[in-house]
Amino acid sequence: MALNLSRNTKVFVSSVNGVHTAGGCAVAFDTITGGSGHAVGDIITCNDQVKVIVKAVNSGAVTEVYVPNNFRGHALSDNDDCTQSATTGSGTGFVIKAAGVTSTTTTDNSRAGLGLFKGNGADANTFRIGVLDGYSFSQGSESTDVQINEAGATPNRGSKRFNDSLPPAEWSFGTYVRPFKHGAASYRADGTYDCVENILWAALAGTALSDATGNGIATSTSTTTGALIDFLQSDAHELLKLNLFFALENTTYRLNEAQIGSAEIDFSIDGIAQITWSGNATTIDQVDEAWDDPSKYKIEAYDADGASLVHTSGTTDTYVEGYNYADTTGPSDADYLRNKLSTLYLDADAQGGGSSSGGLNNRLYDINITGGSISIENNVTYVTPETIGVVDKPIGSFTGSRTISGSLTMYLDTKTDGSNQLLTDLAGATDLVTNVFDMRLYMGVAGAVGSDGDAMDSGDFTAPGVEFNMPKAHLTVPVIEVSDLISVSVEFAAHGSDLLTGDEMKVKYLGATSHTEANKYGTTHRAMAA
């Protein structure tokens, strides 16, 4: 018996489920023709699609190979010979035979093929996410109790319970806010600004991964845009669906068709900037097959008799990172942000005729925040049938109204255009149905806004840092909180330029740390991600 320690958990987030849309991915191989002249570490391409990494040789003949999930081909049939077509070495004559292939669905036919896991390549779709302690995932059941209710001296008092359905699975985990900059050997263009949590933002704010139609986050080498998240691509009934993999020490669980329902960005003054992500999924299952697990690869090796093959699997980073997923979780891969350095820009244009008419004067406030948060809600609803005699499962989901709101805390001071002035102005703006503030929160960095109005500019802040730009924020009257030092808290809600435009907020990441796979995976590994 083996137990699972939570601190050894790895979390992978992917837009695919490890099954090629064309089908015919090899799940095993049953013979090897070793060829000659090969060396350990050679990457051999067969039929221009199946790729293996040489694990062991005998006098130049291959006897064992690693097969990363990204390299198992497509459109294959059982017993197809996959013949060497290229190699990074000088060997020749290698052949490996496919034994068992996938269809266009997963092995249990519950999920359609969405593609193979791809790691550190230009079209990466699977990422290891460094999560914080306190992650959770679960799925309960809904049932009906049938009870007997009789009168009389000796009534029957029995009952029976029936399982009706499985409600949507629930999940939650926290991540640090980690911008970075791609290096020359990274999986996106050199000099491109990005963030470790890229795929999560893509699913929260759009229908596709970065740099694709419907993307929720776009990356750029420009400091004006950096890694930019806006919500113009999120006006859809279904946002990007994810597969979440919780690879425990001895067990891997998969959450299917997961949606990000909410994200909460924390500005706790003494902490490291972080985001709590939560949502739902249709089902949770245990991943038994290495091909379906981005944390694993297959090993095909000769038995001692030199005739048959042994099928095993492994998780050594060398043969999964760079192939099955992109990993930017290490301390040298991306920046951390300290909330103590965060700043607020708050500007009110003249509204409702100014204070003399019960409105707001044009004023730039000078306020130091002591904490706060931003909450983004997609209000996703899952749909589950109600069939008698069947344990129904969720069949899909759709988005509801999107809300972006939050709160800020600050000391109550009397400096010019400080927090007391904000309280006074809002308390006096009694005739304004909606007030409008240009609000910008700069996480982990000082911000400086010039004369650019509501637009983002390259000089707003320097890397590393993140800007949350809400050009039309509605603020409530601050609430006075009594403690050792009198403080106030103010709640806000971001809204678009009009009711039909989803430009409530833009988020810009600028990273300073350069991420690269040089001398880690090697450029030849990256080239194999096709």
Token pair belonging to 6: 């939570």
Mean pLDDT of 479-506: 90
Mean pLDDT of 122-141: 91
CA distance 347 to 445: 19
Residues 123, 34: contact at Cβ < 8 Å? no
Residue 4 has pLDDT above 80, yes or no: no
Which of these ranges, 141-145, 343-347, 357-361, 448-452, has the smallest mean pLDDT? 448-452
Mean pLDDT of 196-217: 90
* Region of residue 61 (phi > 0: left; psi between -120 and 50: alpha; otherwise: beta): beta
Token pair belonging to 251: 């067990």
Max mean pLDDT among 162-166, 424-428, 464-468, 501-505 falls in 464-468
Which is more confident, 356 or 441?
Answer: 441
pLDDT at 192: 94
- Tell me the average pLDDT of the chain: 88
Residue 160 has pLDDT above 90, yes or no: no
Residues 435, 474: contact at Cβ < 8 Å? yes
Residues 199, 15: contact at Cβ < 8 Å? yes
Residue 139 has pLDDT above 80, yes or no: yes
Biggest CA–CA distance in the chain, Å, is 95
Q: What is the pLDDT of residues 210-245, one digit of tens each?
A: 877 778 899 999 998 999 999 988 888 999 999 999
pLDDT at 306: 58
Max mean pLDDT among 104-108, 252-256, 481-485 falls in 252-256
pTM of the model: 0.92
For tokens 């805390």, the residue is 409
Helix (H) or strand (E) holding 423: helix 419-428
- 66 vs 38, 55, 131, 329, 349, CA distance in Å? 14, 6, 28, 24, 63
CA distance 105 to 101: 11
**Among the listed residues 20, 226, 236, the one whose alpha carbon sits nearest the alpha carbon of residue 125:** 20
